[in-house]
Chains A and B, each alone.
Chain A
Amino acid sequence: MNILRSRTSAVAALLFAATACFVQLGCGSQESTSTAPNAAAKQDSALRTPMSEPVSSSFRGMAGSAPASESAREEHAAGDAPFADESKSPIAKNDMSIVDALTSLESEAKTPDGINEGIYENDQRSRQLSTVRDSRATPRVTRATFELMPGEELWVIAKGVDPVAQPAAEERPGCGALMAKLPDVEKEVPVPLKHTSVVGSIDGYIATVDVTQQFHNPYNSKIEAVYVFPLPDNAAVNEFVMTAGERKIRGIIREREEAEKIYNDARAQGHVASLLTQERPNIFTQKVANIEPGKQIDINIRYFNTLQYDDGAYEFVFPMVVGPRYNPPATTDGIGAVARGAVGISGQSTEVQYLAPNERSGHDVSLSLHINAGVNIESVRSINHDVAVKDVTEMERNVTLSAADSIPNKDFVLRYQVAGDKIKTAMMTHKDDHGQYFTMMLYPPAQLKQVQRSPMEMVFVLDCSGSMSGRPIDQARAAISHALQSLTPRDTFQIINFSSAASQLGAAPVIATPENIQRGLTYLNSLNGQGGTEMIQGLKAALDFPHDEGRFRLVSFMTDGFIGNDHDILNALSAKLGDSRIFSFGVGQSTNRFLMDRMALIGRGAVAYLSLNDDPVEIMNRFNERISHPAMTDLSIDWGNMNVTDVYPQILPDLIVGRPVIITGKYTGEPSLVKVGGRQGMQPTSFTVAVDETNATKEHKGIASVWARLKIMDLMTQFSRTPEHGLELRQKVTETALDYSLLSNFTAFVAVDSMSKTEGEFGTTVAVPVLVPEGVKYETSVQN
């Protein structure tokens, strides 16, 4: 029946086509002499739409915008905000007027050339206008009084500070703050970031994480919120949605300069807008413009990343705060660490403002995680936080961060042990319009453990800068002490410390005799944290001295990595590495994991993290186990039936006992047998793994994003090493990021709500101040 109908349709179409052809020819011959009917038809068509509503084809642009924005404001005020009814809002209860608040906010603006041309009108009542200067800027307090007569208006032209984050000194925006009284704190500081929600899902070893940042305006005038925050350095951020009330607007990935221009235009015109940029692979800046008093704007970010596997346990990490970075003199593109309100004093392009030890903000974090490991989970352990763990199946767990542990001042680190005998090299794949992708976790063969290591030249490099002062350096010293005592007289060792400069135990490495080890321990105990973080000095001291050909040089860096010149360090490491291997140890609760991971990758070693809650003996025992057996080096892979291209990392790292390597690439063909070749010591060795249908069929849509992120990281490494190819590499990074809708150094997400237009041009910029990481001393790491 259907076929019959289809055939009938075909005949009809045939007749129609033939007729149309004749008609067309006829019309063509007639119309060829006149273009006027064509033009009329074109005009008619252009204006004609199938819609029935009167506004369908022609609109008044700007003429209609004023009432439109007015209604948007009404809509916003009516329903969107938690304090839409101002009579019920804490703001309304506060006596301070909008003029007072604005003036106070204005007083924070220290950048002389930044101009905010927002014009504000008072409510025609007599008011007292007070201007309070920040005591750090000028010790004077200037107070001016204006008495207004009925019918008079007072206009305040507020000076703002344009793109730089503006401080929120305690004297001012706090006036209208929606802060709850917090126990056990001396001072409550209103901040425009209320809450961060993290919802993650782990499938195998790929995590999909949704982060929602809830910005609000606790002040009496509109603001631009600026928040510098961390994400994992391998996070492939590919979704960005701005939510205002019930309305959600998906952000667009653009070249960074273009996105910044769009955002600045929207901000200047009073539109609610948001911009997400990347400052470092693990540091990002979120800006939200034109948040009206009492209103809330949510920003939803989604990313994918791969988890690390270490000695039988996967590790999921969500960083919660950027640690205070040290920037060497003459650096201007670093990450400044300044006290709340001390905007601009670091001289760096990006600044993080920190709350003083006696200050707290209301910003908290919630986190929930679903784990589907694919194999039985033996145990789940949170390193720094209290969590509730619920068994779903033998392979699945639900993990929830305790509400009592919701202060974002340390990394969330979750390690879950899986059934060791079930672990095997496995491949996950994904196919889309771009092609076919795979990611493979390549496990070291069991035979690696059968060979013992050769004598070592062990170099311990300890960061003794101010940020390491206190518990972090205690933890690092304990770890080095244990490692020292594990050395044998076949080995030599050296201890180097660096802060503003580097110094060392002796002129050259010494034999690890009991006496020398004792000497080393004494030296170690004399070291304390203070001063800057001139890591390059430590690198030079560790890698520049002549290599002992009879020993395998292994350099262990113990640091929190709180430096702003990451790429300088990595480039120096790459240049000086030689035959050495780098094992990096991230010490503390909020380590610079990008630096630590990259140091280990470049140094063909491994990374480990030593939280203040970790047992240093346990961590160093794992380290000793790893270095007790020679790694499988000079890896090469025969992919069998797969035609593999664009593999990352491009230089395969060594396979070390207990540490698998994650390899990601594009391919055609069918996964089957993969042969891995290399050397163990001087001996060639190889092993074969099956990545056939039994363990290569796992599909994950995040793999393409993960691959693209790795490609971008690789290109960025080249970018920093070969500035002469900067333009070409920048173009490649941009193209890749735009193609895969990924955040990068050169791309950014922007979202503009063109339907809501707030009054005035733009509000005062308020940075979100954060706590220094747990264990870090504010006094020794933050500029005042």
Chain B
Amino acid sequence: MNTIEKTNEQTSSTHRCRIPLCWAFLIAFDVSLMALSYAQDGDTNPADPTAQSVMTEIAGPDDVAVETSRFEAIDVFVDSGTRQLAAWQLELKSSANDVQIVGIEGGEHPAFAEPPYYDARAMNNNRVIIAAYNTGDNLPIGRSRVARIHVQVRGPGARTWESELTTSATSDGTKIPAEISIAKATQG
């Protein structure tokens, strides 16, 4: 099973709390019950097996004026390991308010070359939920760029992006574990 990589500030700031030992047992018992229920149910929550949130910093120039803007692209990769990836959904957002999403491009594999659709209601300046599926036979295996997000960034410095893969599945609908990662797009 995939490890869940949670690296935001909230996660790291919750380590100080002290919990009485009896509460700890109670929480552990509850969690166990939930796990048992989950296993007996057999119907998995689609997002759970694969959901992962990754924080990535995309560097930017420090020596530019605050009012200047630049356009850059962020490549989004999904690594489905040894399984064929037929469907995916992910969320990409920035904690910064001075970034705007200005275009969505498809991926490198022919199965996901068409620009993915985005959820209009979820679309914000700095947040997008995109998804794509392909019912064909020629599907990517391993790590593949599934989308490229074009953004406008105002002002100097790096911006941190949070990416989360909420769905990844094979062509028969089976949810599969996969990892998401992003990187600044480069030519070539």
A61 contacts B59, C-beta separation under 8 Å: yes
A60 in contact with B59 given A17-B31, A252-B123, A751-B102 (CB within 8 Å):
yes
**What residue of chain A has the Cβ atom nearest to residue B9's Cβ?**
A42
| B57 partner residues in chain A, CB cutoff 8 A | 46-47, 57-58
The stretch among B66-74, B85-93, B133-141, B169-177 that forms the contact with chain A is B66-74
Contact of B15 among A27, A65, A262, A266 (CB under 8 A): A27
A67 in contact with B184 given A50-B54, A752-B71 (CB within 8 Å):
no
| B39 partner residues in chain A, CB cutoff 8 A | 6-7, 9-10, 13
Interface check B181, CB cutoff 8 A: yes
B70 contacts A61, C-beta separation under 8 Å: yes
Which residues of chain A (44-83) have a CB below 8 Å from chain B?
45-53, 55-65, 67-69, 71-72, 75
A62 contacts B24, C-beta separation under 8 Å: no
Determine which residue in A38, A46, A258 has the highest number of CB atoms from chain B within 10 A of its CB, and name it.
A46
The stretch among A593-601, A615-623, A734-742 that forms the contact with chain B is A734-742
Contact of A55 among B19, B120, B186 (CB under 8 A): B186
| A45 partner residues in chain B, CB cutoff 8 A | 5, 7, 12, 55
Interface check A625, CB cutoff 8 A: no
Interface check A753, CB cutoff 8 A: yes
A25 in contact with B19 given A750-B102, A754-B103 (CB within 8 Å):
yes
A61 contacts B54, C-beta separation under 8 Å: no
| A434 partner residues in chain B, CB cutoff 8 A | 121
| B164 partner residues in chain A, CB cutoff 8 A | none
**Distance of B123 from chain A, by nearest CB (Å):** 7
Which residues of chain A (729-750) have a CB below 8 Å from chain B?
738-741, 750
Interface check A3, CB cutoff 8 A: yes
| B121 partner residues in chain A, CB cutoff 8 A | 433-434, 739
Interface check A271, CB cutoff 8 A: yes
A71–B186 CA distance with the chains assembled, in angstroms: 10
A49 in contact with B56 given A14-B36, A21-B24, A25-B19 (CB within 8 Å):
yes
| B82 partner residues in chain A, CB cutoff 8 A | none
B28 contacts A50, C-beta separation under 8 Å: no
A-B contact count (CB 8 A): 214
**What residue of chain B has the Cβ atom nearest to residue A49's Cβ?**
B181
A741-784: contact bitstring with B at CB < 8 Å (1 yes, 0 no)? 10000000011111100000000000000000000000000000
B146-188: contact bitstring with A at CB < 8 Å (1 yes, 0 no)? 0010111000001010000000000000000001111111111
Contact of B120 among A39, A64, A68, A739 (CB under 8 A): A739
A2 in contact with B152 given A249-B105, A252-B104 (CB within 8 Å):
no
A249 in contact with B150 given A241-B115, A752-B71 (CB within 8 Å):
yes
| B21 partner residues in chain A, CB cutoff 8 A | 25
A31 contacts B16, C-beta separation under 8 Å: yes
**What residue of chain B has the Cβ atom nearest to residue A253's Cβ?**
B120
A466–B100 CA distance with the chains assembled, in angstroms: 47
- Chain B interface category by residue count: 35 or more
B38 contacts A10, C-beta separation under 8 Å: yes
A178–B145 CA distance with the chains assembled, in angstroms: 37
A49 contacts B72, C-beta separation under 8 Å: no
A741 contacts B114, C-beta separation under 8 Å: no
B118 contacts A250, C-beta separation under 8 Å: yes
B151 contacts A49, C-beta separation under 8 Å: no
A253–B64 CA distance with the chains assembled, in angstroms: 28
**What residue of chain A has the Cβ atom nearest to residue B119's Cβ?**
A433
Interface check A393, CB cutoff 8 A: no
Determine which residue in A51, A53, A434, A740 has the highest number of CB atoms from chain B within 10 A of its CB, and name it.
A51
**What residue of chain B has the Cβ atom nearest to residue A53's Cβ?**
B183
Contact of A754 among B16, B72, B143, B181 (CB under 8 A): B72
| B152 partner residues in chain A, CB cutoff 8 A | 262, 265-266, 752, 754
B102 contacts A248, C-beta separation under 8 Å: no
Interface check A247, CB cutoff 8 A: yes
| B102 partner residues in chain A, CB cutoff 8 A | 252, 262, 266, 750-752, 754
A740 in contact with B71 given A50-B179, A59-B59, A63-B61 (CB within 8 Å):
no
Interface check A269, CB cutoff 8 A: yes
**Distance of A490 from chain B, by nearest CB (Å):** 56
A6–B120 CA distance with the chains assembled, in angstroms: 38
| A41 partner residues in chain B, CB cutoff 8 A | 12
Interface check A687, CB cutoff 8 A: no
Contact of B183 among A39, A56, A258, A752 (CB under 8 A): A56
Which residues of chain A (1-29) have a CB below 8 Å from chain B?
2-3, 6-7, 9-11, 13-14, 17-18, 21-22, 25, 27-29
Interface check A251, CB cutoff 8 A: yes
Which residues of chain A (231-270) have a CB below 8 Å from chain B?
241-242, 246-254, 258, 262, 265-266, 269
10 additional contacts (CB under 8 A) given A61-B60, A64-B186: A22-B24, A28-B19, A45-B55, A65-B72, A242-B103, A250-B117, A262-B102, A269-B69, A741-B123, A755-B73
Interchain residue pairs with CB less than 8 A apart (12): A9-B35, A10-B38, A18-B32, A46-B56, A57-B56, A62-B70, A63-B61, A250-B103, A252-B123, A265-B71, A434-B121, A754-B72
Give the 3 A-B CB pairs with smallest separation, nearest first: A45-B7, A10-B39, A13-B35
